């Protein structure tokens, strides 16, 4: 196991842009994923764990954008202010245990566009999608969670370019909550 410990981590006025341009098989951060995934061992079921311990995380005016032209999806997470007390994050186990999460003014947006899918990567064997194993999601457990003033938007630009329903009617292709 590998472990990295911090008492406090702060990030202010940051813009993190994760991108997968059309014609690319990987996001621009794939080298980090490969590094933290652990050593490549002959047994693919045995992973070297990477543990991250940061007791206190503070974010001020931080925006994360993940945009894939290949899948036609753009996710935006804007965090004006966040204070998070962390117990443990285990990337191999896909689990995070948090004591406290305080978010102020959180904004999340999910936009769908026309996808530009890639052919199978050269040298790889195409998996049978019916028998493909669905990977477990990353679990986040928080003992205390507070959200003050948040917003969620979802737009299906792959279906309609803009809102097409009357003002007092719900448009499930373009939501703002």
Written as tens digits, the pLDDT of the chain (177 aa) is 678 889 999 999 999 998 888 888 887 777 776 666 665 555 555 666 666 778 999 999 999 999 999 999 999 999 999 999 999 888 778 899 999 999 999 999 999 999 998 888 887 766 665 556 777 899 999 999 999 999 999 999 888 887 777 878 888 888 888
User: Residues near 57 by Cβ (< 8 Å), separated by ≥ 6?
Assistant: 8, 9, 10, 82, 83, 84, 85, 86
Distance between CA atoms of residues 126 and 168, nearest Å? 47
Determine if residue 94 is left, alpha or beta; phi over 0 gives left, psi from -120 to 50 gives alpha, anything else beta.
left
């Amino acid at each position: 196991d590998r472990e990295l410990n911090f008492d406090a981590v702060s990030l202010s006025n940051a813009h993190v842009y994760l991108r997968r341009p059309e014609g690319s098989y990987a996001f621009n951060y794939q080298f980090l994923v490969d590094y933290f995934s652990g050593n490549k061992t002959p047994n693919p079921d045995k992973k070297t764990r990477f543990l991250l311990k940061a007791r206190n995380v503070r974010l001020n005016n931080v925006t994360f954008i993940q945009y894939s032209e290949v899948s036609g999806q753009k996710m935006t997470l804007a965090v004006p202010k966040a204070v998070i007390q962390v117990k443990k994050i285990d990337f191999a186990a896909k689990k995070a245990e948090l004591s406290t999460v305080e978010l102020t003014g959180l904004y999340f947006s999910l936009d769908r566009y026309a996808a530009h899918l890639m052919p199978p990567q050269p040298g790889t064997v195409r998996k049978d999608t019916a028998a493909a194993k669905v990977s477990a999601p990353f679990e986040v457990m928080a003992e205390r969670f507070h959200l003050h003033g948040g917003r969620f938007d979802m737009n299906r630009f792959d279906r309609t370019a803009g809102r097409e329903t009357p003002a007092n009617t719900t448009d499930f292709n373009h939501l703002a909550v």
